[in-house]
Amino acid sequence: MGSNFIDYVKFFGKSGAGGAGSVHFRREKHVPLGGPDGGDGGRGGHIILKGNGQQWTLLHLKYRKHVRAESGGNGGAQNSFGANGRDIILDVPIGTIARDAETGEKLLEILVHGETKILLNGGRGGQGNSHYKTATNQAPAHAQPGEGAIEKVIILELKLLADVGLVGFPNAGKSTLLATISAAKPEIADYPFTTLTPNLGVVAYREDRSFVMADIPGIIEGAAKGKGLGTRFLRHIERNSILLFLVSADADDISKEYSILLKELENHNPELLDKERVLVISKADLLDDELKTEISETLTKVAHLYISSWTDQGLVALKDVIWRYLN
């Protein structure tokens, strides 16, 4: 698998400059001193982002280092307008955020399929001299230049949109759970620096309902400070409505593992703790009822469930809980 899952690209963007207005006077046989008839310049092209629900990655923009829109045409005689510069429309996946690379300022965010937003405005065209005629100045000899282009280095970041985010250390059974309960797995290939991938799965629920679950590769202690896979992955869970914390039944101290995971998220972004969360104890086929009771006594304040992806134990209950939270 190549590194097809690209969630970060950087490019130099330049919108089109506006065309200049024209200085021109009517010249006709019978009108020796015709009035001003210089037309306006055309608008420069915009750079526009458009949401595309069929795209899962920014790979198609990875090698576009320069994105330049066309400038507007200049105005002409007989009040003729300059042509507008062609806009450039970049398709991006839902969940794409555009930032100014220098200031880090968020410029816009695309959240809906088909939504279009202007990233860089084209310059307005200048007014021709026909606009400047007054009672005292019948022959204005000036027109407006067009507005300049806007240049910016742009960063596009993708945050996957999922209803449910799976959080857990490596080997907690997240991928197995996703593979077991989800109907569709879009191929999202691996990051260049690791074999791990954030996977999205569409989970079918009673009748014809469904929700999207994202498996975020294992957080290791210190991820929020950039250790391990760090914040590149953590940012994908900022949008989830529910966080499922997966801790394996064979962990030495389930309550402690859960606390470490919570701490990681808090270090990354304290707002993550405002989301609904459920502790899911995986590999529960290893536990008998007595052990489950003992574990539950250490988790009195935490909503938790026992599941086994191997025996399907608790999976229907898990989907029910998720659906209740989502609705």
150 shares a domain with 173: no
Closest by CA to 240, choosing from 324, 323, 159, is 159
Tell me, what DSSP letter sits at residue 316? H
176 shares a domain with 126: no
CB 191 within 8 A of CB 197: yes
pLDDT of residue 194: 39
Confidence of residue 298 (pLDDT cuts 50, 70, 90): confident
316 shares a domain with 184: yes
Q: What is the pTM (predicted TM-score) of this model?
A: 0.63
Q: Is the pLDDT of residue 216 over 60?
A: yes
Alpha helices in the chain (DSSP H): 174-181, 231-234, 254-268, 289-297, 315-326
Angle at 201 (CA atoms; ends 307, 260), nearest 5 degrees: 55
Closest by CA to 214, choosing from 193, 189, 242, 192, is 242
Instruction: Please list the residues that pair with 28 across neighbouring strands.
Output: 31
Q: Tell me which of 127, 158, 189 is where a domain ends.
A: 158
Average pLDDT, the chain: 83
pLDDT of residue 33: 72
Tell me, what DSSP letter sits at residue 208? T
190 shares a domain with 49: no
Give me 38's structure tokens: 């210089």
198 shares a domain with 132: no
pLDDT, tens digit (0-9, with 9 covering 90-100), for 272-293: 788 888 999 998 998 888 888 8
Task: Answer with the residue of higher pLDDT: 219 or 324.
Answer: 324
The residues near 91 (Cβ < 8 Å, ≥ 6 apart) are 50, 51, 52, 55, 60
127 shares a domain with 95: yes
Mean pLDDT of the 185-214 span: 60
36 shares a domain with 136: yes
> Rounded to an integer, what distance in angstroms lies between the CA atom of residue 103 and that of residue 231?
19
Task: Answer with the residue of higher pLDDT: 126 or 214.
Answer: 126
pLDDT of residue 189: 42
pLDDT of residue 5: 61
147 shares a domain with 27: yes
How many Å separate Cα 69 from the centre of its chain?
A: 22
171 shares a domain with 154: no
- Report the DSSP pairing between strands 116-120 and 66-68: unpaired
pLDDT of residue 230: 53
CB 234 within 8 A of CB 268: yes
Residue with tokens 């809980």: 321
140 shares a domain with 250: no
Q: Tell me which of 123, 143, 158 is where a domain ends.
A: 158
Give the CATH number, domain containing residue 194.
3.40.50.300
pLDDT of residue 287: 86
User: In the sheet that 151-158 helps form, which strands lie side by side, from edge to edge?
Assistant: 66-68, 8-14, 151-158, 96-100, 106-110
pLDDT, tens digit (0-9, with 9 covering 90-100), for 37-87: 999 999 999 999 999 877 778 888 988 999 999 999 999 999 999 999 999
pLDDT of residue 188: 43
List the domain range (segments joined by +) for residue 243. Answer: 164-326
Q: How many distinct structural domains can be found in the chain? A: 2
142 shares a domain with 14: yes
Q: Residue-wise over 253-284: b if at least 16 C-beta within 10 A, else e?
A: ebbebbeebbebbeebeeebeebbbbbbbbbb
Give the CATH number, domain containing residue 111.
2.70.210.12
The residues near 11 (Cβ < 8 Å, ≥ 6 apart) are 61, 64, 65, 66, 67, 153, 154, 156
Q: Is the pLDDT of residue 100 over 90?
A: yes
Q: Is the pLDDT of residue 255 over 80?
A: yes
Q: Tell me which of 137, 158, 179 is where a domain ends.
A: 158
pLDDT, tens digit (0-9, with 9 covering 90-100), for 135-194: 888 889 899 999 999 999 999 998 766 788 888 877 777 778 887 887 545 444 443 333
154 shares a domain with 184: no
Task: Answer with the residue of higher pLDDT: 194 or 9.
Answer: 9
